[in-house]
């Protein structure tokens, strides 16, 4: 066991490690040994541009000297302090920073460790809030979520999730959620013009709220972009409209910014695009710059106050995760936020997004490209059998995967969502690297569907 060569590693990776969302009978190992900036290097020394931010979480590149140093400094203090009735300076400072940069009104931070747990926390807080507030509404226990929503893989998150392929089998374990169609800007309802889309989808939500608001604790939404659904992009005004409707019908709004937070859409948080403050905000992936597992659920003062009381009143939020608020993660997160300021990360984004957009305009003209869509540095290219009818290719043909397989041969690592090719590089991506990713996608599409 003391020595092993790369053949052993590949074999063990195929047989011992059970990979997430991966058919292990067909798995082809990709074993990354090290990384630098936006480039990953595998155990054979082959470099790949990290075209999907190591699954949507890397922000400033890998091995950023500031973030590395911050973690090392924290390691010289303490690696872990429990969050259950105790704290540490780094985690406290992070809470302060998050409250400062979050949409106004979110002034309390509950730390956990993954996106799914951040959503579980929000779901449970919402329910308990309605029971404990000064004018209690204990009958408000249901949730309204969007079609094809993805909020993580724990059971509460799966209950509000709506992706058939992932979620259907677990239905016997789930609580019921009400659902309205995803406000899709590509696969639109017949007869509705683009400028009427937001109003159309909002009217559908209002119908459900009008009927069910008395029993509804919260609406759960991925603001602007539904990631795992295939980068479904919402029409402008939809998020703002949902905020107005949830206020009018006295239902909480949970914004899951696990994927879209930390600059992906061009602003620090997607909610800022429509001047929205949700009641609960879930963040994870980019929080530590893609370094360490850490998540947070931010809550308003109104929600926080409903949990205050003497121990004997049992208003405590009885929920926690062993590593919630871990100081190494907090150190990485603080450094990540410092780098945003020092490097002007958000200020540099429009030029990068524009460059990516130029490539997308070209790719949009290739045969079988049904749609290209973009929000900040989130881009998607959707392949279809027939662009006129938007009829998909048979999913078994794995066209999207084959385009990504081709990109690997050009040293570009991306992961598709079905036949949607996702381009979502670290915010630190350089223009020449954007060109290489887009070039590989373009040639891949020509090879696979040309
Ligand atoms: C990835 C993701 C999650 C789950 O986060 P994990 O850290 O994988 O548990 C939740 N919501 C959204 C929108 C996501 O993209």
Listed by start position, the domains of the chain span 31-63+345-449, 68-342
Report the percentage of the chain scoring pLDDT > 90. Answer: 97
Which of 181, 276, 161 is CA-nearest to residue 227? 161
Give the binding-site residues of ligand 1, using a 6 Å CB cut-off.
114-116, 119, 150-152, 222, 227-228, 256, 258-259, 284-285
**Residue in 52, 53, 115, 166 to alter for ligand 1 test, most ligand atoms within 8 A of Cβ:** 115
Determine the average pLDDT of the residues in 126-136. Answer: 98
Determine which residue's CA is closest to atom 5 belonging to ligand 1. 115
> Given the DSSP bridges, would you call strands 378-383 and 420-423 parallel, antiparallel or unpaired?
antiparallel
pLDDT per residue as tens digits for the range 415-442: 999 999 999 999 999 999 999 999 999 9
Query: What is the predicted pLDDT for the residue at 1?
Result: 47
Determine the average pLDDT of the residues in 99-128. Answer: 98
Cα dihedral 205, 167, 124, 56 in deg (nearest 10): -90
Domain 31-63+345-449 sits in CATH 3.10.580.10? no
| Mean of all residue pLDDT scores within the chain | 97
CA–CA dist 188, 195 (Å, integer): 12
pLDDT per residue as tens digits for the range 181-224: 999 999 999 999 999 999 999 999 999 999 999 999 999 999 99
pLDDT per residue as tens digits for the range 32-65: 999 999 999 999 999 999 999 999 999 999 999 9
Quick one: pLDDT band at residue 300, thresholds 50, 70, 90? very high
Query: What is the predicted pLDDT for the residue at 3?
Result: 61
Q: Give the tokens for residue 384.
A: 């279809």
Quick one: pLDDT band at residue 166, thresholds 50, 70, 90? confident
> Given the DSSP bridges, would you call strands 252-256 and 378-383 parallel, antiparallel or unpaired?
unpaired
Q: Give the tokens for residue 358.
A: 């130029």
Query: What is the predicted pLDDT for the residue at 165?
Result: 85
Determine the average pLDDT of the residues in 99-115. Answer: 98
Q: Tell me, which fold does domain 68-342 have in CATH? A: 3.40.640
CB 316 within 8 A of CB 307: yes
Quick one: pLDDT band at residue 4, thresholds 50, 70, 90? confident
Judged against a pLDDT cut of 90, whether residue 248 lies above it is answered with yes
């Amino acid at each position: 066991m003391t020595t092993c060569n790369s053949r052993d590693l590949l074999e063990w990776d195929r047989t011992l490690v059970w990979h997430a969302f991966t058919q292990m009978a067909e798995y082809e190992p990709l074993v990354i040994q090290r990384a630098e900036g936006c480039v990953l290097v595998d155990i054979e020394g082959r470099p790949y541009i990290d075209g999907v931010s190591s699954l949507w979480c890397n922000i400033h590149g890998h091995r950023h000297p500031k973030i590395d140093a911050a973690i090392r400094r924290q390691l010289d203090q303490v690696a872990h302090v429990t969050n259950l009735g105790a704290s540490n300076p780094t985690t406290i400072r992070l809470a302060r920073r998050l409250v400062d940069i979050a949409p106004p009104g979110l002034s309390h931070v509950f730390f956990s460790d993954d996106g799914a747990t951040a959503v579980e926390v929000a779901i449970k807080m919402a329910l308990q809030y309605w029971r404990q507030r000064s004018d209690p509404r204990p009958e408000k226990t249901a949730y309204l979520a969007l079609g094809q929503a993805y909020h993580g893989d724990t059971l509460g998150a799966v209950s509000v999730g709506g992706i058939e392929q992932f979620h259907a089998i677990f239905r016997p374990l789930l609580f019921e959620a009400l659902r309205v169609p995803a406000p899709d800007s590509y696969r639109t309802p017949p007869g509705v013009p683009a400028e009427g889309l937001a109003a159309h989808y909002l009217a559908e939500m209002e119908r459900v709220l009008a009927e069910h608001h008395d029993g509804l604790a919260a609406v759960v939404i991925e603001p602007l972009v539904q990631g795992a659904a295939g980068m479904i992009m919402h029409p402008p005004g939809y998020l703002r409209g949902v905020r107005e409707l949830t206020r009018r019908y006295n239902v909480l709004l949970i914004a899951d910014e696990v994927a879209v937070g930390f600059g992906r859409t061009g602003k620090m948080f997607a909610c800022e695009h429509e001047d929205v403050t949700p009641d609960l905000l879930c963040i994870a992936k980019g929080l530590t710059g893609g370094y360490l597992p850490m998540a947070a659920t931010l809550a308003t003062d109104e929600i926080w106050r409903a949990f205050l009381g003497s121990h004997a009143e049992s208003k405590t939020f009885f929920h926690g995760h062993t590593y919630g608020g871990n100081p190494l993660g907090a150190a990485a997160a603080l450094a990540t936020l410092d780098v945003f300021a020092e490097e002007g990360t958000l200020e540099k984004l429009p030029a990068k997004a524009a460059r990516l957009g130029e490539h997308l305009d070209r790719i949009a003209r290739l045969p079988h490209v049904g749609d290209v869509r973009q929000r900040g540095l989130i881009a998607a290219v959707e392949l279809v059998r027939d662009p006129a009818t938007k009829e998909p290719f048979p999913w078994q043909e794995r066209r999207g995967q084959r385009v990504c397989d081709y990109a690997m041969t050009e040293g570009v690592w991306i992961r598709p969502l079905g036949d949607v090719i996702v381009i979502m590089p670290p915010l630190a991506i350089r223009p020449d690297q954007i060109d290489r990713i887009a070039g590989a996608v373009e040639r891949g599409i020509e090879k696979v569907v040309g």
